Structure 1
Amino acid sequence: MFEIILVSACLCGINCKYNGLNNFKKPILELVKEGNAMLVCPEQLGGLETPRPPSEIVNGTGKEVLFGNAKVLSNEGIDVSKQFIKGANEVLNLAKLTNTELVILKSKSPSCGIGKIYDGTFNGILKEGNGVTAELLIQNGFKVINEDEFGGV
């Protein structure tokens, strides 16, 4: 079992999702109750309010956002790339400070998505790629999974 785990706060019932709700998953909350997990919300750590307009990565993935070749835009057309990058860096700092061995993030999110994220059209269509935070953590050698993969760890 892993010692320190970072977890998307929305997965534990914290109402930090863009619409002010959460993505509660009881097995992940149990990690917190056992004292093995620390909650993070990259979007809030980056300075975004809750609730906030939904955002998606346009013309790329988290990797391209980190390199300045794509943007995270709200459905109102507001560029929130800076906040997403700041939040990703804050989560990376926490991961390093706590010697995190595993990070469990929310699937499909422009911050936390792993493997598949929304395509930037706000039509519920997925594309291959990682969110900004997931990509930064992976680039820095952290093991990152989504809530659906958690059962297999």
Structure 2
Amino acid sequence: MSMDKDFSITPAEVVGGSEQADAASQLADLPAGAPILVSACLLGQPCRYDGRAKTYPGVQALARRYVLYPICPEVAGGLSTPRPPAERQGEAVRTADGQDLTAAYRQGAACAVAMAAAHHIRLAILKAKSPSCGSGQIYDGSFSRSLIPGQGVAAEALQAAGVLVLSEQDLPMAGPDPSDKD
């Protein structure tokens, strides 16, 4: 897909963690200064549902070469920090007690797509397994910590808008984070 700038990114399906070489080649194709949308929690902002950050050094290191645009779609959609954990249940997003947060998640996804469009962003690195940002795998909606193939609401919207979505686990300098329990 062509960009207004002097570079392009090959459209792809959501990249799984086993395809790190693909992620490395996508990053290598980006010129210095290219814009990348990044989950704010990966950059150290305490915006996760539990009020913490999930700082990821491999993502932070990208700031030396690229322009990173942090976003937390859940906060952008009007949710507070901290907030009850939520999971996708089909097209809906609900808390364990059944509160429907779908509208807030969709609003946050729309904000992420608008930010990507405004800054000509064609690559996003989002938090794995999140009901908003997850790519490749998300929790199954039963609050049992079981993973299923799928995407978070914002990841799905960004991909539909032509943005390649990776997780921090897809980065070539990454591997599974042993402390990553969510």
Q: TM-score, normalised on structure 1?
A: 0.88
**Which position in structure 2 is the counterpart of 1:26?**
57
Give the stretch that moved more between structures: 79-88 or 140-149. Answer: 140-149
Q: CA RMSD in A?
A: 1.3
Q: Which protein shows a greater Rg?
A: 2
**Which position in structure 1 is the counterpart of 2:112?**
91
Is 2:150 the partner of 1:119? no
**Which position in structure 2 is the counterpart of 1:110?**
131
Q: Once the 2 structures are TM-superposed, how far is the Cα of residue 29 of structure 1 from its aligned partner? A: 1.3
Q: Which structure 1 residue ranges, 5 or more long, are not aligned?
A: 66-70
Q: Once the 2 structures are TM-superposed, how far is the Cα of residue 96 of structure 1 from its aligned partner? A: 0.3
Percent of aligned positions that are identical: 40
Distance, in Å, in 2 between the alignment partners of 1:126 and 1:113 is 11
Is 2:78 the partner of 1:57? no
**Which position in structure 1 is the counterpart of 2:46?**
15
In the alignment, which of 138, 141, 150 is matched to residue 159 of structure 2? 138
- Contact 1:40–1:91 (Cα < 8 Å) also in 2: yes
Q: Once the 2 structures are TM-superposed, how far is the Cα of residue 31 of structure 1 from its aligned partner? A: 2.5
- Contact 1:6–1:40 (Cα < 8 Å) also in 2: yes
Q: Once the 2 structures are TM-superposed, how far is the Cα of residue 33 of structure 1 from its aligned partner? A: 5.4
Flag as ranges the 4+ runs of structure 1 deviating above 4 A.
Answer: none
Question: 1:65-90 CA distances to partner (integer Å, 9 max, x unpaired)?
Answer: 2xxxxx10012211000000000000
Is 2:112 the partner of 1:81? no
How many residue pairs align between the two structures? 142
Q: Which structure 2 residue ranges, 5 or more long, are not aligned?
A: 1-27, 174-182
Question: 1:17-43 CA distances to partner (integer Å, 9 max, x unpaired)?
Answer: 100011111121122355610100000
- Contact 2:122–2:162 (Cα < 8 Å) also in 1: no
Amino acid at match of 1:146: S
**Which position in structure 2 is the counterpart of 1:129?**
150
Distance, in Å, in 2 between the alignment partners of 1:110 and 1:119 is 9
